[in-house]
Chain A
Amino acid sequence: MRVTRDLYADLAWLLPAPEDFRARRRALMADDATQVGAGVQALARHALNATQLTQLAETIAAAQARGADLAPLAPFTLGLVGNGTLDLIAPALVASAARHGVALRVVTAPYGQVIQEALNPHSAVNAAKPDAVLLALDHRGAPLSADLASAEASVKEAIGYINALKENFKANAGAPCIVQTIAAPAEALFGSFDRRLAAAQRAAIDAFNRALASGETGSDDILLDVAGLAETVGLARWHSPSEWNLAKLPFSSTYLALYADHVGRLIGAMRGKARKCLILDLDNTCWGGVIGDDGLDGIRIAEGDAEGEAFRDVQRTALALRARGVVLAVSSKNNDEVARAAFREHPEMILRESHIAVFQANWNDKATNIKAIAEELNLGLDAMAFLDDNPVERGLVRAFLPQVAVPELPEDPALYARTLTAAGYFEAIAFSEEDRKRAGFYEDNAKRAALASAVGSLDDYLASLDMEISFAPFDQKGRERIAQLINKSNQFNLTTRRYTEAEVAAFEADPACFTLQIRLADKFGDNGMISVILCKAQGDAWEIDTWLMSCRVLGRKVEQMALRELMLHARAQGVARLIGRYIPTARNGMVKDHYETLGFVKQADGARAGETTWAIATDAETPAAAPMRVVRVGALNDALPQAAE
């Protein structure tokens, strides 16, 4: 189902552009368009191709020209000088800056005019009084000689040239410069020796980049590490001789969106728009497995274990971010005690409770929890990034809290940490002692935030998931999975009765048993079997012997649909009542009120402490149908006439 996207060239942490991109951007072009800033930013949050970047830039320029309010985007004027075709690059910068909270205006120097633009106080760039000037120079423009006789000497000249540009833009435009490191050409002269020989171009470029990075050109300039970017994707891919020859593109157009996003990050960071807090999901994001079901010993987080190492990388990355001042929080659908136990007791965990500023482990929807975290930390939602392996949770947070950055994640957890860092949410232009200590400022470590009011009705979001629920009786095909769920589900499990595969097979054939295996599919894919119910006939009633569900589909109204299905079948078979039982364990506190929530009436306390019995008449009103298609398989389809729905 998933199309393979290249992490860097396709900005794969962003959702692909929406189908209605052109219609939406046209609507924003209208003279009477409102909330243009938010609308532009919503489009910019997708991965856009060169055409779309150009069109979005036109939309922003048109809004600026008619004086439209672009809030919450912060205005910024960028001077752009360089030795390539800047007109191909400028629109991509404008559109990408919107992704990072900036309404950018770019003033471009005429082709090839660099030092002239800096020296002339009335040049377009100087006259615009920009907030910064981007010196988009590559090895050809710095210039760094490829000639053995002059390469070494050209380093000093190039640094002098950059300094002259900087001083003049400072004097004439009053603006700092964004200076670029230089990506070495892929073509070697000697081979490996190029790196060692000071007279070779590669060594000269190394020396230039070192000088630039170490601040020899002055302290108030800002560094754009183009060399690092090119190394990340590969020099041979970064440089395209054909495209340079065709259009004087200083790097391959494949990476235009990536380059522009990096410029956008820097400008966003200059305007204080970089994110400050990383919120982590736990199950299958920070460790492999579901701790509520697999247990403390069952999660995969061990050093040396191929699966565990992937999650250790996520934890290491989070901890390293904390060390540079990024606040960490947790939002997990879990029992609080169970989730904290991993942080307190698991010997292989890298993250500890003391690293987490706010720890939200409960069964509420994540949008509500993230809002609570933001309020507790007194940070804006636009300062948050949220890492979660589950596309439904990601979609929900995006739908309700669009300001929160939510990276798409690849199938393989080994790439989670790389994807998170590639997204560049925490770009910084400086690092101070205060940053180093910031995470420690949040002294009440791992506190639980009071729940904010719920973010709103989830029904529209659920409807957008295009869900299909399918009911089937226990059968030979599902037997193994049914037995597995019966034996490993701990949290959403009303009675925690365990049965062997042979016993499950016996239920299939027993006329006194009514059984359901439930599957759920949605637009993100097939979740497989997510719930199992077993009823046993008792006189005119069915006693619900087993009712369990995967926590992955909590909040999707699967329970309501399951009860509806049970009641319809019970009615059709002349059964008067359903009887439910809750048997408490150390793990299943989350379903204590399950039957009450579904409208059952309490009958009696059971023999054991905390055990309760519940009943509902089958002629009571069924729960309302949730927004999902219902499919009945096999005998269930014959048993219920279509009219029952």
Chain B
Amino acid sequence: MSDVYDKLTSLLQDVFDDDDIVATPDLAAADVDGWDSLAHVRVILAVEKAFNVKFKAAEINVMKNVGDLANSISAKLAGG
């Protein structure tokens, strides 16, 4: 699980070009400068590519924070 957070940290730092971002379970879009709806799509697409996973719209719609995102990734990587 910490692997997922490490990878998300590096991905978010890349997308927002900000080395201070750390992916924590509580981190939400509102906490990050520039994380608007367009950036959200960019994040989702970048995550899908980086982890080689695909999300259903229903999954994306209920994600409230990075914790939800990480849980969803982990479940998919575990074959869930």
Whether chains A and B associate is: yes
Q: Is B62 an interface residue (CB 8 A)?
A: no
B57 proximity list for chain A (CB < 8 A): 242, 245-246
Stretch from A50-58, A298-306, A406-414, A569-577 at the B interface: A50-58
Contact yes or no, A54 B42, CB < 8 A: yes
A163 at the A/B interface (Cβ < 8 Å)?
A: no
Minimal Cβ-Cβ distance residue in B for A54? B42
Inter-chain contact A49/B49, CB cutoff 8 Å: yes
Complex interface: chain A residues within 8 A of B60 (CB): 246
> If the complex has contacts A87-B38, A88-B38, are A243 and B14 also in contact, measured as CB distance less than 8 A?
no
B46 touching A50, Cβ below 8 Å: yes
Enumerate chain A residues within 8 angstroms of B42, measured Cβ to Cβ. Answer: 50-51, 54, 88
- Name the CB-closest residue of A to B17: A55
**Known A87-B38, A242-B57, A245-B57; contact A22-B17, beta-carbon cutoff 8 A:** yes
Judge if B41 is at the interface, Cβ distance under 8 Å.
yes
Chain B residues 32 to 53 lying within 8 A of chain A, measured CB to CB, are 38, 41-42, 44-46, 49
**Residues of A close to B38: CB separation below 8 A:** 85, 87-88
Asked whether, in the complex, the Cβ of A253 is within 8 Å of the Cβ of B45, the reply is yes
Least CB separation from A252: chain B residue: B45
Question: Nearest CB to that of B14 among chain A residues?
Answer: A51
**Interface membership of B77, Cβ < 8 A:** no
Contact present for B41 and A51 (CB under 8 Å): no
Q: Contact: A88 with B17, CB < 8 Å? A: no
Bound complex: CA A254 to CA B45 (Å): 9
B21: min CB distance to chain A, Å: 13
Residues of A within 8 A of B49 (CB): 49, 253-254
| Centre residue among A54, A85, A243, A246 by max chain B CB count within 10 A | A246
Chain B residues, CB < 8 A from A243: 45
Residues of B within 8 A of A249 (CB): 41
| Cβ of B52 to closest chain A Cβ, rounded Å | 12
Chain B residues closer than 8 Å to A49, beta-carbon distance: 46, 49
Q: How many angstroms from the CA of A392 to the CA of B41 in the assembled complex?
A: 40
Q: Is A644 an interface residue when CB atoms closer than 8 A count as contact?
A: no
By size class, the interface of chain B is 10 to 19
Q: How far is the CA of A161 from the CA of B41 in the complex (A)?
A: 31
Chain A, interface SS category: helix
A243 and B44 alpha carbons, distance in the complex (Å): 10
B54 within 8 A of A: yes
Q: At the interface, yes or no: B15 with Cβ under 8 Å from chain A?
A: yes
Residues of B within 8 A of A51 (CB): 14-15, 42, 46
Separation in Å of the B26 CB from the closest CB of chain A? 24
Distance, CA A50 to CA B44, complexed state (A): 12
| Per-position binary interface string of chain A over residues 51-93, scored 1 when its CB falls under 8 Å from any chain B CB and 0 otherwise | 1001100000000000000000000000000000101100000
In angstroms, Cα B57 to Cα A203, docked, is 32
Please report which residues of chain A, range 95-142, place their CB below 8 angstroms from some CB of chain B when the two chains form the complex: none
Residues of A within 8 A of B54 (CB): 242
| Of A26, A55, A88, the contact of B41 (CB 8 Å cutoff) | A88
* CB-based nearest A residue for B43: A51
Using Cβ atoms and an 8 Å threshold, which residues of chain A touch B45? 50, 243, 247, 253
* Chain B residues, CB < 8 A from A247: 41, 45
A304 to B9, CA, bound (A): 54
The CA-CA distance from A88 to B45 in the complex, in Å, is 11
A58 nearest CB neighbor, chain B only: B17
Interface flags for B11-28 (1: CB within 8 Å of A; 0: not) read 000110100000000000
Interface residues of A in 9-24 (CB under 8 A from B): 22
Tell me the nearest residue of chain A to B16, going by C-beta.
Answer: A51
Identity of the chain B residue whose Cβ is nearest the Cβ of A52 in the assembled complex: B14
Alpha-carbon distance A87/B15, docked complex (angstroms): 15
> Which residues of B sit under 8 angstroms from A254, Cβ to Cβ?
49
**Quick one: CB contact mask for A174-188 with B, threshold 8 Å, 1 for yes?**
000000000000000
Q: How many angstroms between the C-alpha atoms of A246 and B58 in the bound complex?
A: 10
A54 to B45: give the CA distance in the assembly, Å: 13
Chain A nearest CB, measured from B20 CB (Å): 14
Chain B residues near A88: list those with CB within 8 A.
38, 41-42
With both beta carbons as reference points, the residue of chain B lying nearest to A87 in the complex is identified as B38
Docked complex Cα distance between A519 and B72 (Å): 50
A419 to B28, CA, bound (A): 43
Q: Which residue of A lies closest to B60 (CB)?
A: A246
Contacting residues, chain B, for A22 (C-beta < 8 A): 14, 17
Chain B nearest CB from A4 CB (Å) reads 14
Alpha-carbon separation in the docked complex, A253 to B44 (Å):
11
Q: Nearest Cβ in chain B — how far from A250, in angstroms? A: 13
With most chain B CB atoms within 10 A of its CB, the pick from A26, A243, A249 is A243
Q: How far is the CB of A252 from chain B (nearest CB, A)?
A: 10
Q: When chains A and B are docked, how far (Å) is the Cα of A254 from the Cα of B46?
A: 10
A85 with B41: CB separation less than 8 A: yes
Q: CA of A106 to CA of B17 in the docked complex: distance in angstroms?
A: 22
Question: In the complex, how many angstroms separate the beta carbon of B41 from the nearest chain A beta carbon?
Answer: 4
Q: Is the CB–CB distance between A246 and B44 below 8 Å?
A: yes
B41:A246 contact, CB within 8 angstroms: yes
Q: In the complex, A51→B42 CA distance in Å?
A: 8
A572-607 Cβ-contact flags toward B at 8 Å (1 or 0): 000000000000000000000000000000000000
Q: Would you give the shortest CB distance from A109 to chain B, in whole angstroms?
A: 16
The 9 closest A-B pairs by CB, nearest first: A247-B41, A253-B45, A51-B15, A51-B14, A87-B38, A245-B57, A51-B46, A55-B17, A246-B57
Interfacial residues, chain A to chain B (CB-CB below 8 A): 22, 26, 49-51, 54-55, 85, 87-88, 242-243, 245-247, 249, 253-254
For this complex, 18 residue pairs linking A to B, each with C-beta atoms less than 8 Å apart, are A22-B17, A26-B17, A49-B49, A50-B42, A50-B45, A50-B46, A51-B14, A54-B42, A55-B17, A87-B38, A242-B55, A245-B57, A246-B41, A246-B44, A249-B41, A253-B45, A253-B49, A254-B49
Known pairs A22-B14, A51-B42, A88-B41. 11 more at Cβ < 8 A?
A22-B17, A49-B46, A49-B49, A50-B46, A87-B38, A88-B42, A242-B54, A245-B57, A246-B41, A246-B44, A247-B45
